[in-house]
Structures are given as C-alpha cells and as structure tokens.
Amino acid sequence: MNSRIRSIAFNTFREAVRDRVLYNLIAFALLISAAAILVGEISIDIEHLVVVNLGLTAVSLFGVVIAIFIGIGLVSKEIDKKTLYTVLSRPVRRWEFVVGKFFGLTGTLVVNTFFMALGVFLALLYVAHKFEKADAWVLAALYFIVLQFLIVCALSLFFSSFSTPLMSAVFTFALFIIGSLSEDLRGFARMTPGLAGWIATGLGYIVPNFSAFNVINQVAHGDAVPGRLILLNTAYAVLYSAMAVSGAVLIFQRRNLK
Amino acid sequence: MNSNRRVNAVATVVLLLSMAGGIVALNAVDHIRRGAVAQQALYFRSSRVLRRLSLGYTGLLADIYWTRAVQYFGEQHHSGSGDFRLLAPLLEVTTELDPKLLPAYQFGANFLAPKPPNGAGLPGAALSLTKYGIEHNPDQWRLYYNLGFLYYTEFKDYPRAADAFARGSKLPVTNAYMPILAARMAQHAGEFDTARMLWFTTYQGTKEPRIRQNAVEHLRAVQVDEDITRLEQVIAKYRAQFGRTPTGMDDLERAGFIHGTPADPNGEAYELKPGGRIEVQHPQKLFFITKGLPPGVEPPQPPRIPEQPSK
C-alpha cells in the first residue's frame, strides 16, 4: 500500500471514529449482548446459545448498518464539503482516493467488531463462568462477519461513487438482503429452464453470497468450521470486494467533478 | 420560579405521569389480549418462510421461538386452562429452524406428553418431536432415553422402549444406565426399580432445577408406591397365617413381619386403616403417588410452575 493510500485510509478512519452515531450503534450492540443474558434467563437451557446467537447477530447487523451509513457518505461528503478538490489537487490519483477510503472504512469496522465481540465474550463468560474449547469457533464466525463487512463496505463505496447517499443506502441494503437469500436464488435458477433460468443464474453469481458467511448457529452449537470454508470464503470476500472497488474506481475515474 | 424552571418541572411531571399511565394502559391491553403473543408467534407456521425472513439468522429465531414455547407453556400451566393447542406447532417451528436445539426436544417432550394440567396430554406429538430430534441428532443418547421413556411411561410399549434404550446404549457417548434399562424393558420386570432408574437418569441428565425437582418428586412417589405394595403383601400373608386382618402396625411387628414402624419419605408413619388398607398421613405432601390415598382423593399434583419460568 503506498503512502498516499495509507494517509487517506488513516484520515477516513479518524473521521469515522469521531462520528457519535458510530458509538451509539456500538453501545446498542453491546446492550443487546447484555440483553442476551436476560433472554437466556427467561428460557430453559439455552443461555449459551442465546448469547452467541443474539450477540453475533447484533455484531453482524449493526456492523452492516455502520458500514452502509459511513460508506455511503465517504465520497459525497468530500464533494459537498469541497475537500475532495483539495485532496485531488495534490499528487493523489482518483483510484488512490477510492482505495484509501475503502481501507479506512474496513479498518473502522474491524475495530468496531473487536469492541462488539469483546461484549459478546464478556456475556459468554458471565453465563458460563469459563470459556470452552468450542467457543474458539466464535472467532471463526466473527472473522466471517468481518469478511461480510468487507463486501458491504465495497458495495456502499461502489454505489456512492455515482449515486446520492440515500440511493446508495437503499441499493446497498437491498443487495444485502438479496445476498442473504442468494442460495435460494441459485436454487431457483437450477429449477428454472430456458432464458429465465440463465438470467436467474447470472443474478445468482452477480449478487454477493452472504449466506455462506453466516455460521453463527453452527458455532453456537460448538460445531467446527471447516478450514476449506474459511479459505474459500476469504478468497470470495477478497475477490468480490476487489470487483466492487474496481467498479467504483472505474466510475469515479470517469466522473465529472466540476 | 423562573420560566425555565417552571417548564422543567412541568415536563418532569408530565414525563412521570405519562410513563405511569403508559404502564397501566399496557397492562390493561395485555389483560384483554391474553395469549396474543403466542398467537402472533405462530402467524407464520412455515419454517421455510421464517428461514427466508430471518435472512439466515435462523439460530436466533429458533431461540426466540423456544423461549415463546416455554412462556406459552408456563402461562397456560399457570392459568390452569389445560389448553395447549399452540405448544406442538411452536415446538415444531423451533426445531425446524434449528434442528440441533436439544433443549427443545428434551423439555418439549416433557411439556407435551403428560396429561393436563401437568402437560399438554399429547404423547403422540411428543413422540414425533423426539423422533425428529433423533433423525437430526443421531449421536445424542438423551434423545433415545427420552424416546424409551415416552414408550414406557405413556404407551407401555415395552419392546419399543427396549429398542430405544438399546440404540442409545450403543452410542460412543452414552449413560451407564441405558443398557440396564434396555434389558429391564426387554424382560418387562421390576417395575419399581425400572421407574426409579428412569427418574434417577432424568435427574442426572439435566441441570435444570425444575426438571430435577420433578424427578425427585417422582422418586419419592415410587418409594411410597413400593412401600405400600410390600405392606399390602405383608398384610395378605398375615391374613393367611392368622385368619384375620391386622388392626395396626403393632400386630405386624409382633408377628415378626416388619421391624419398626414403616414411614414415608417425609418420615411420617404409614397408617393401617380398618379393612387392612394402607394410607399416607399427608397425601398433599407426596405428589404423583398412586397408592396410599384416602378413598375419593385424587392423586396430588405439584404446585403450578410460575408464569415465566426462571432458572
């Protein structure tokens, strides 16, 4: 990573962590992890399961919301405040600006996830009084959640490179929902003959496959996550993000900023 | 008081009054919409639809449905209505969303099988639930134990009970009592010992305090039933030897049939009534007993569990 990208990424991170909304969302996610303890109390024999399921779901969903709401403003805010012109008047290329923003946002989300995950582990310790060996798989689920954020960040950046913040949020959130159901979409494509089948197959591969990143219930039961899945999910997330960021770069390169 | 302070004071009073009023109104709404939460919980009965709506977070949804099933059971049990219509569908949705949610099978079958007011009186549904659990968790001995338990207690189907215990006993991780239970079922012998072993295994197999307490109550009831059966045999022997019915425990002791005054698990002596009938002194303290009850007295049931079960 060159120094210009690093500077943009660092500044993006610094700007994001100054946002009060971010802290509110993290606080809310931590509150939900704490609430999981109470939910476990009013049920029977599922304290551990509820803490993992509710805690990780909160980390995942709040992270997606943070990724979308910060990601959509990355480019438009710079244009509105006219700071983009100051940046681009220096020896910074447009692609470096986009890539730097991407890394800055993902860095913010990794740090957020760390704090939210800390809340989940503290809640786990509270209900079980000790960590089991199988709890280590919670880290694998958290890693997959971070990979999911990587894609959401790339998508929000992609949409914000040519659209308004509101529309970018709508597009990214819609893709998150469709991506969570993408296995169904590919299943539907397999059953559909002809042109509709081809279109559904194409869509099935274009939309991100978020369902493969969701192993929350699996790790809640203490089941192992196969190493091959970790490897392939990593490759998929990196490739998909690279694709979306490249798309953002291509659009931003051609965008008339006057 | 300046205007700012006045505004603050009024706003505080309005806030507190609205909050209190809101709580009262909500309680009134809850009162007229009793059972609505469970009804809403089953707005979607298809686990496929729920899976899609959950965006893949099925584990969390299953936990929510299980909690609702527990609350629904607790509420119906507490009200004593005996209407558990929604229990089976709630458990069905729960286990279809998360087929590995073992507590839903273990406790769910306990909620479904017993006759009202202690359960839903749906042993068939309990059996289906347990079989579904085994299908998805074939390595869990507790589910085979539950299956054998159901066949034994609810259906008196000894061959199937023996088969369930035998299958569970062959698993890599199992309970030491499983092969013994299988053998006992196959022989169909020693009813009291078998019942004692079953309830003891239930006690051992859970950390849930209410289930443990229930097992203890059943173990005490088994003890009373066994004591009284033995005393009845002793009285029959006395009759055969002396040609009359004993008038009290002293007669049996003098004849050398018993040593000391036999007592129930609460330490209260059994009473020998005219006609040679044995009764416990306080039947209301011994839940689930089937013997030793005064004529016309129903078998006592344990107190109803709280509306919202807590650990």
Verify whether the Cβ–Cβ distance A46 to B63 is below 8 Å. Answer: yes
Token pair of A51 as six digits: 């803490």
Find the residue in A nearest to B60 (Cα): A53
B132 domain residue, yes or no:
yes
Residue A258 class from Cβ within 10 Å (0-12 exposed, 13-18 middle, 19+ buried)? Answer: exposed
Question: Which of the listed residues B214, B235, B261 is the one where a domain comes to its end?
Answer: B214
Q: Which residues contact B100 (CB under 8 A, 6 or more apart)?
A: A217, A221, B136, B137
The confidence score (pLDDT) of residue B40 equals 53
Q: How many residues does chain A have?
A: 258
Which pLDDT band holds residue B309 (cuts at 50, 70, 90)? very low
Measured distance CA(B69)–CA(B73) in Å, rounded: 6
Verify whether the Cβ–Cβ distance B59 to A210 is below 8 Å. Answer: no
Residues of chain B neighbouring A217 (CB-CB closer than 8 A):
57-60, 62, 98, 100
pLDDT (average), residues B224-236: 90
Q: Give the model confidence (pLDDT) of B39-55 as tens digits.
A: 555 666 677 788 888 88
Residues β-bridged to residue A183? none
Residues of chain A neighbouring B311 (CB-CB closer than 8 A):
41, 44, 47
Q: What is the CA angle B145-B311-B218, rounded to 5?
A: 45
With a cut of 50, say whether residue A88 has pLDDT above it.
yes
Q: Which residues contact B113 (CB under 8 A, 6 or more apart)?
A: B119, B120, B121, B122, B123, B126, B150, B153, B154
Q: What is the CA angle A62-A64-A70, rounded to 5?
A: 100
pLDDT (average), residues B183-212: 77
B143 domain residue, yes or no:
yes
Q: Does B40 touch chain A (CB under 8 A)?
A: no
Answer whether B264's CB lies under 8 Å from B224's CB. yes
Residues of chain B neighbouring A137 (CB-CB closer than 8 A):
none
Together in a domain, B70 and B209: yes
Q: Where are the alpha helices (DSSP H) in chain A?
A: 3-17, 20-42, 47-71, 73-80, 83-89, 94-128, 137-160, 165-180, 182-191, 194-206, 216-220, 227-254
Token pair of A101 as six digits: 């923003």
Which residue in this structure is represented by tokens 């603050």? B8
The confidence score (pLDDT) of residue A24 equals 74
Q: Which residues contact A198 (CB under 8 A, 6 or more apart)?
A: none
Q: What is the CA angle B223-B228-B233, rounded to 5?
A: 130
Measured distance CA(B217)–CA(B212) in Å, rounded: 9
Token pair of A136 as six digits: 């280590």
pLDDT (average), residues A25-50: 79
B159 domain residue, yes or no:
yes
- List, in sequence order, every beta strand (DSSP E) within B250-306: 271-273, 277-279
* C-alpha distance from B57 to closest chain A C-alpha (Å): 7
Chain A residues interacting with chain B (CB cutoff of 8 angstroms): 39, 41-47, 49-50, 52-54, 57, 60-61, 177, 180-181, 184, 210-211, 214, 216-217, 220-221
Together in a domain, B229 and B100: no
Residues of chain A neighbouring B309 (CB-CB closer than 8 A):
42, 44
Token pair of A31 as six digits: 């509150």
B99 upstream amide cis, omega within 30 of 0: no
Q: Tell me, what's the ipTM?
A: 0.76
Residues of chain A neighbouring B56 (CB-CB closer than 8 A):
180, 210-211, 214
Compute the CA torsion angle A209, A211, A216, A222 (nearest 10 deg).
Answer: -100
Q: What is the CA angle B95-B101-B104, rounded to 5?
A: 70
B56 domain residue, yes or no:
yes
Mutation test of the interface with chain A: which of B48, B52, B60, choosing the one with the most A Cβ atoms within 10 A?
B60
Question: Which of the listed residues B160, B192, B214 is the one where a domain comes to its end?
Answer: B214
Return residues 202-261 of B near A (CB < 8 Å): 206-208
**Model pTM score:** 0.74
Q: Give per-residue burial for A24-50: e unless 16+ CB within 10 Å, then b.
A: ebbeebbebbebbbebbbebbbbbbbb
State whether residue A251 is helix, strand or coil. helix
Verify whether the Cβ–Cβ distance A46 to B310 is below 8 Å. Answer: no
Residues of chain B neighbouring A44 (CB-CB closer than 8 A):
66, 70, 103, 107, 208, 309, 311
pLDDT (average), residues B289-308: 69
Which pLDDT band holds residue A156 (cuts at 50, 70, 90)? very high
CA atoms within 13 A on the CB side of A244: 24
* C-alpha distance from B81 to closest chain A C-alpha (Å): 21
B7 domain residue, yes or no:
no
Phi (first) and psi of residue B130, to 5 degrees: -65, -40
* C-alpha distance from B63 to closest chain A C-alpha (Å): 6
Verify whether the Cβ–Cβ distance B309 to A46 is below 8 Å. Answer: no
Token pair of B206 as six digits: 């859970």
Instruction: Give the total number of structural domains in chain B.
Output: 2
Domain ranges of chain A: 3-254
Mutation test of the interface with chain B: which of A32, A33, A38, A43, choosing the one with the most B Cβ atoms within 10 A?
A43
B167 domain residue, yes or no:
yes
Which pLDDT band holds residue A1 (cuts at 50, 70, 90)? low
Q: Which residues contact A23 (CB under 8 A, 6 or more apart)?
A: none
Answer whether A103's CB lies under 8 Å from A74's CB. no
Short-list B60, B61, B50, CA closest to A55: B60
Answer whether A98's CB lies under 8 Å from A154's CB. no
Q: Where are the alpha helices (DSSP H) in chain B?
A: 3-32, 36-41, 47-53, 58-79, 87-97, 102-112, 123-136, 141-153, 158-169, 177-187, 191-204, 209-242, 249-254
Nearest to A217 among B55, B98, B103 (CB): B98
Q: Does B58 touch chain A (CB under 8 A)?
A: yes
Residues of chain A neighbouring B77 (CB-CB closer than 8 A):
none
Q: How many CB pairs under 8 A join A and B?
A: 72
Question: Which of the listed residues B182, B214, B246 is the one where a domain comes to its end?
Answer: B214
Which residue in this structure is represented by tokens 């129930």? B264
Residue B43 class from Cβ within 10 Å (0-12 exposed, 13-18 middle, 19+ buried)? Answer: exposed
Token pair of B114 as six digits: 């017993």
Together in a domain, B84 and B59: yes
Verify whether the Cβ–Cβ distance A44 to B107 is below 8 Å. Answer: yes
For residue B232, give the amino acid letter.
E
Q: Give the model confidence (pLDDT) of B95-149 as tens digits.
A: 999 999 999 998 899 889 988 777 889 999 999 999 999 999 999 999 999 999 9
Write the DSSP assignment of A118-136 as a string of letters. HHHHHHHHHHHSS--GGGG
pLDDT (average), residues A116-133: 87
Residue B157 is part of which domain span?
Answer: 48-214
Together in a domain, B133 and B182: yes
Return residues 289-308 of B near A (CB < 8 Å): 308
With a cut of 90, say whether residue A74 has pLDDT above it.
no
CATH number of the domain where residue B66 is located: 1.25.40.10
Together in a domain, B122 and B140: yes
B65 domain residue, yes or no:
yes
B91 domain residue, yes or no:
yes
With a cut of 60, say whether residue B306 has pLDDT above it.
no
The confidence score (pLDDT) of residue A244 equals 93
